[in-house]
Structure 1
Amino acid sequence: MKLALISDIHANRQALQACLAHARQQGVDQFAFLGDLVGYGADPVAVLDEVMNLALQGALVLLGNHDEMALNPPSAQGAEATLGSQSAQWTHEQLSAAHREFLSHLPLTVAQDGLLLVHASADHPASWRYVDGEAAAGRCLDQALAEQQGPHVLVGHVHHQTLYYRGAGRNLMRFDPTPGTPVPTPLHRPMVGCVGSCGQPRDGDARAMYAVYDRTLQKITFHRVPYNHAEAAAAIRLAGLPAYFSQRLERGR
């Protein structure tokens, strides 16, 4: 069974459509969306409609910090907060009651068949901590193992694709995967996988990110998918959202 892991769509309809099409070509059996469905991008309604439809077909869907912000837009405080608050308020106004109801019932984590899915870190998931290094990945994995929800943890939030695994020692080791190349993830070797961002990559590569976990073969494959990022960026400008959000799509960071 193949599970497609898509995170941090950020209301980017074009990137989502490209990743869904690519995943279906890989023969996936199920989709999992690891949060931040909305925020930054211009198409929160189209993205949520698609995800909600897939949820009816058995897709797993988690809550992200930007989904939470869209439900309860924060007050602007400072330049960065103003951008985030403007996006959250604009997104909130686009959503229907059904969209908000859907977001309000999303879980922070899902544990299934040796996998723990979470938007941020399994270490206090509601605090939205980043798994951005070996130490943070270790805390994330230790929490999952302590709660017997592992041995593998798959997360989003950091907008990069990285794998942390436990070898002979206790400390985790970082591995930067090659797109399209399966990586063995046997259950006796616990790992934390950051699946990257579908809708707003931040590693200097504009292509969308997602991953496929093969439960039968116990392997994970990270993918990069070209999409029309110029069209997604233009939609952000047309919506009147901050130009910075469109520039991030064009630069891939």
Structure 2
Amino acid sequence: MQIAFLTDIHSNREALTAVLAHARARGAQRFVLLGDYVGYGPDPEWTIETIAGLVAEGAIAIRGNHDEAAVGGVNGMNSNAAQAIDWTSRQLSKASLDFLSKLPLSVIDDDRLYVHADASAPHRWLYVVDGEAARHSLEAAETRLVFSGHVHVPAIYGLSNIGKLTPFRPQPGIAIPLLAQRRWLALIGSVGQPRDGDPAAGYALYNDYSAEIVFHRVPYDVETTAQKIRAAGLPAGLASRLFAGH
């Protein structure tokens, strides 16, 4: 089965629309959504309605820190993120807020753990930014595979049975076998606000039969999203950063 992993959509309608079409065209049979559907971007209500529709069709959705903040209030965010969450909370319907409030922090699915941030303490929203953090997250998980978001940069870490951790930087379109003799952490990147210098939306397809994962980048209409961010009165930097992918 081909499983499409999407994360950090951040209310970016154009990016999500492009990614869903790309994944379906490549045979995605199931969607796993790793959190942060809102925040930063201009289309929170549409995004949640779309995610809820996917869940109704069998997708799994995890809660992210921006989703939690939209429901419960800002805590520890920078000024741009806090301003965007305040605006977002006022755009969301009661049904969408209720949907976000009921999302789980993590889900175990066969040999896979789905979590937005670090697996050792999902509620603390710790960033997995290096090998030490990746090891900590992997060692805390009970599963062979961990799929996460939060950092907006795609990466893979493999942990051997003798404790050697190897980082990989995935290249778009190139299949990476998640070999059975290792445990693996896959950081999926971001649909709606990539931060690796590439503005194209990012997601990954995992084949649970061949145990191969392929990361994809999908160009989308960045200008339209940026214009909507400005029109909503959100911080201008949230628009300009989309063009640079940072």
TM-score between both structures, scaled by the size of structure 1: 0.94
How far apart, CA to CA, are the structure 2 residues paired with 1:114 and 1:30?
A: 16
One-letter amino acid matched to 2:39: G
SS in structure 2 opposite 1:213? strand
Q: Tell me which residue corresponds to 1:56.
A: 56
Deviation at 1:251, TM superposition (A): 1.2
Alignment deviations for residues 125-154 of structure 1 (CA, whole Å, 9 cap, x no partner): 10001111111000000000xxx3x10001
One-letter amino acid matched to 2:44: P
Deviating above 4 A after TM superposition, structure 1's stretches of 4 or more consecutive aligned residues are none
How far apart, CA to CA, are the structure 1 residues paired with 2:180 and 2:97?
A: 37
Deviation at 1:9, TM superposition (A): 0.1
Q: Is residue 78 of structure 2 the alignment partner of residue 92 of structure 1?
A: no
Contact 1:121 1:128 in 2 (8 A): yes
Q: Tell me which residue corresponds to 1:218.
A: 211
Identity score, percent = 43
Select 1:245's aligned residue among 223, 238, 241: 238
Q: Tell me which residue corresponds to 2:129.
A: 132
Pairs aligned (count): 246
Q: Is residue 116 of structure 2 the alignment partner of residue 119 of structure 1?
A: yes
Q: Tell me which residue corresponds to 1:142.
A: 139
One-letter amino acid matched to 1:116: L
Deviation at 1:186, TM superposition (A): 2.6
How far apart, CA to CA, are the structure 1 residues paired with 2:185 and 2:68?
A: 24
Contact 2:160 2:181 in 1 (8 A): no
Deviation at 1:178, TM superposition (A): 1.0
Contact 1:152 1:187 in 2 (8 A): no
For 1:148-163, list aligned pairs within 5 A. 148=142, 150-163=143-156
Contact 2:155 2:188 in 1 (8 A): yes
Alignment deviations for residues 82-127 of structure 1 (CA, whole Å, 9 cap, x no partner): 3222111100000011001100000010111101010001010100
One-letter amino acid matched to 1:88: I
How far apart, CA to CA, are the structure 2 residues paired with 1:4 and 1:81?
A: 30
SS in structure 2 opposite 1:121? coil
Q: Tell me which residue corresponds to 1:165.
A: 158
Q: Is residue 24 of structure 2 the alignment partner of residue 24 of structure 1?
A: yes
Q: Tell me which residue corresponds to 1:43.
A: 43
How far apart, CA to CA, are the structure 2 residues paired with 1:8 and 1:206?
A: 14
One-letter amino acid matched to 1:169: I
Provide the alpha-carbon RMSD of the alignment.
1.2
Q: Tell me which residue corresponds to 1:108.
A: 105
List alignment gaps of at least 5 residues for structure 1. Answer: none
Q: Is residue 198 of structure 2 the alignment partner of residue 205 of structure 1?
A: yes
SS in structure 1 opposite 2:78? helix
How far apart, CA to CA, are the structure 2 residues paired with 1:55 and 1:64?
A: 16
Q: Is residue 74 of structure 2 the alignment partner of residue 74 of structure 1?
A: yes
How far apart, CA to CA, are the structure 1 residues paired with 2:185 and 2:165?
A: 9
TM-score between both structures, scaled by the size of structure 2: 0.97
For 1:219-238, list aligned pairs within 5 A. 219-238=212-231
Contact 1:164 1:174 in 2 (8 A): yes
How far apart, CA to CA, are the structure 1 residues paired with 2:205 and 2:81?
A: 30
